[in-house]
Amino acid sequence: MRTHGDFEFSRRDLLIVGAASLAAPTVAVTAEPSVAKAQAVVPGAPVISKVSFNVNGKARELEVDTRTTLLDALREHLHLTGTKKGCDNGQCGACTVIVDGRRINSCLTLAVLHEGDSVTTIEGLGMPENLHPMQASFVKHDGYQCGYCTPGQICSAVAVLDEIKAGIPSHVSADLTTLPQATAAEIRERMSGNICRCAAYPNIVAAIKQAAGIQS
């Protein structure tokens, strides 16, 4: 217990007074209504935005949280669940789709960044009653086991053959002055971003070679 003049207080009293002062509401005075409105916004509240793009040949428009990935927009909003969520970090390739002719990991890009783009998923390549040649080749060569990575493998494989036809070299292209060929080495290098945990790689390479018109 300590005394000061006519006042007597303890350490407990001091702590109670200090806590009460911290808990007291702070009144902000401003002459600008816009400032007050801005201060009223809840931090971290989602921002909703519209995005319009073409998915598998159909015009689609969504209202999504600006943090929504293209993968989640396809799966959760458009219910195109053929595109798989694997690592969600761009490391496995299970979520590969084709955007404006180029393959991308849909888990690494935001849906709102693809305004006006053309997106092709595994459903857009072909369905059981009308398979894409690459899908049919995967079936023939048993290029899958559990099948989880297969949609991404097939989308990537289709884009790989387009890259080769366009003359785009890879790290294993020996001569940059000639067009690359769909050899096993080229296919393996270009498909290296698509992981098959069942290790069906030999069958996948065989399927892609056949789809490229090369005898295995």
> Is 24 inside any structural domain?
no
* Residue 186, CA distances (Å) to 10, 122, 160, 168, 170 in order: 81, 23, 9, 11, 7
Q: Which of 187, 102, 183, 180 is nearest to 143 (CA)?
A: 187
pLDDT at 186: 96
CA-based angle 88:93:96, to the nearest 5? 95
The CATH number assigned to the domain holding 105 equals: 1.10.150.120
> Is 136 inside any structural domain?
yes
> Is 162 inside any structural domain?
yes
Structural domain boundaries, residue 188: 52-211
Helical segments of the chain, H only: 11-23, 33-40, 70-72, 122-125, 133-140, 150-165, 184-190, 201-211
Q: What φ, ψ does residue 55 adopt, rounded to 5°?
A: -120, 115
E strand residue ranges, 32-146: 48-55, 58-65, 96-99, 102-105, 118-120
pLDDT at 28: 47
> Is 33 inside any structural domain?
no
User: How many residues are there in the chain?
Assistant: 216
> Is 159 inside any structural domain?
yes
Pairing of strands 102-105, 48-55: unpaired
Q: What is the pLDDT along the chain (216 residues), one digit of tens a residue?
A: 555 555 455 666 656 655 555 555 544 444 455 545 555 556 778 899 999 999 999 999 999 999 999 999 999 999 999 999 999 999 999 999 999 999 999 999 999 999 999 999 999 999 999 999 999 999 999 999 999 999 999 999 999 999 999 999 999 998 988 999 999 999 999 999 999 999 999 999 999 999 998 654
> Is 143 inside any structural domain?
yes
**Residue type for 105, please?**
N
> Is 20 inside any structural domain?
no
C-alpha 184/C-alpha 171 separation (Å) is 13
pLDDT at 14: 55
pLDDT at 1: 54
The number of folded domains in the chain is 1
pTM of the model: 0.78
pLDDT at 29: 46
